[in-house]
Amino acid sequence: MEVPRLDHALSSPSSPCEEIKNLSLEAIQLCDRDGNKSQDSGIAEMEELPVPHNIKISNITCDSFKISWEMDSKSKDRITHYFIDLNKKENKNSNKFKHKDVPTKLVAKAVPLPMTVRGHWFLSPRTEYTVAVQTASKQVDGDYVVSEWSEIIEFCTADYSKVHLTQLLEKADVIAGRMLKFSVFYRNQHKEYFDYVREHHGNAMQPSVKDNSGSHGSPISGKLEGIFFSCSTEFNTGKPPQDSPYGRYRFEIAAEKLFNPNTNLYFGDFYCMYTAYHYVILVIAPVGSPGDEFCKQRLPQLNSKDNKFLTCTEEDGVLVYHHAQDVILEVIYTDPVPLSLGTVAEITGHQLMSLSTANAKKDPSCKTCNISVGR
């Protein structure tokens, strides 16, 4: 059951009756507070209408869910519509309403249950919501009698699926630009970080849970464990830049140590932070590792030899590496990395804190990196 656009509801006809008359059997419309009649309208309570109970939420995606409930058989045949009150959980106490003072809510014709509620303009991925249901009977004069509200149920929408991530991938492909050759991955941190790794982790950097930067619906945020690396190079030198937002000490490792025929490459996210430049998150996971199994279930896999972002090809028996020029790549490696595999040295440039993406929020208005399934 597809839900119309929210802006249609905000510019709805002058009365709710006029709007509701336009409902088809499989449509959901939105009534807002301004469109309703006064307290003398026909929205009134009638105890004979059954109150929904034992509400079940199922088939949850990032922008849809199915809802069903049980009802007493008494007067069940009189039900013509369902009223569904849907609110973000954090706002549930600020949006209480009476039957005769109704703010925005979903109005659906009484279709067989379970019923699908879908709409990216009012459902966001990975967000907690509350929902309650009311049965209604439309009268010959266009007014309604309604039941009491059901109990309030809480649920959380899901992450982006592979289908949604593939849509993001296709948008990222468009702006990736030409490929530049590189030879090392690098990771900048403060000196204290590397001292701690040597003293407490046996001289090996350990994976940690990814923060919540990037797309709100990304399935790797707060779940995937890995180590962030960069591979971008300066156009004029072909070497890593000397500036970094993450610390003055840099670990460099030969590209083939992390990215080779024994690893898989996955697309993780595409986003910007209210800036002209965009970020692409890629995941490198050793074949068969826990990180590889995690990604295989959730992320689109890329051909390591042929994609728009990061490639590993063989030329004359030597592995050759290229990265996209027009996006900033953030590469997550999912296994521990011993410091002995590379070198740690102090950089000569500046620490540009303004470029940090730690817990950075995605610009929801950017047409380049957003898809129509929430942000």
Residue 358's pLDDT is what?
63
Residue 90's pLDDT is what?
66
pLDDT tier for residue 121 given thresholds of 50, 70 and 90: low
Residue 9's pLDDT is what?
30
* Average pLDDT score over residue span 106-130: 87
Secondary structure of the chain in the HEC alphabet? CECCCHHHHHCCCCCHHHHHCCCCCCCEEEECHHHCCCCCCCCEECCCCCCCEEEEEECCCCCEEEEEEECCCCCHHHCCEEEEEEEEHHHHHHCCCECCECCCEEEEECCCCCEEEECCCCCCCCCEEEEEEEEEEECCCCCEEECCCCCCEEEECCCCCHHHHHHHHHHHHHHCCCEEEECEEEEEECHHHHHHHHHHCCCEECCEECCCCECCCCCCCCCCEEEEEECCCCCCCCCCCCCECCCCEEEEEEHHHHCCCCEEEEEEEEECCCCCCCEEEEEEEECCCHHHHHHHHHCCEECCCCCCCEEEEEECCEEEEEEECCCEEEEEECCCEEHHHCEEEECCCCECHHHCCCCCECCCCCCCCCCCCCC
pLDDT at 259 over 80: yes
pLDDT at 230 over 80: yes
pLDDT at 340 over 80: yes
Q: Tens digits of per-residue pLDDT, 50-75?
A: 999 999 999 999 989 999 999 988 77
Lowest mean pLDDT among 2-6, 44-48, 147-151, 365-369: 2-6
Higher pLDDT, 155 or 104: 155
The pLDDT mean for the chain works out to: 82
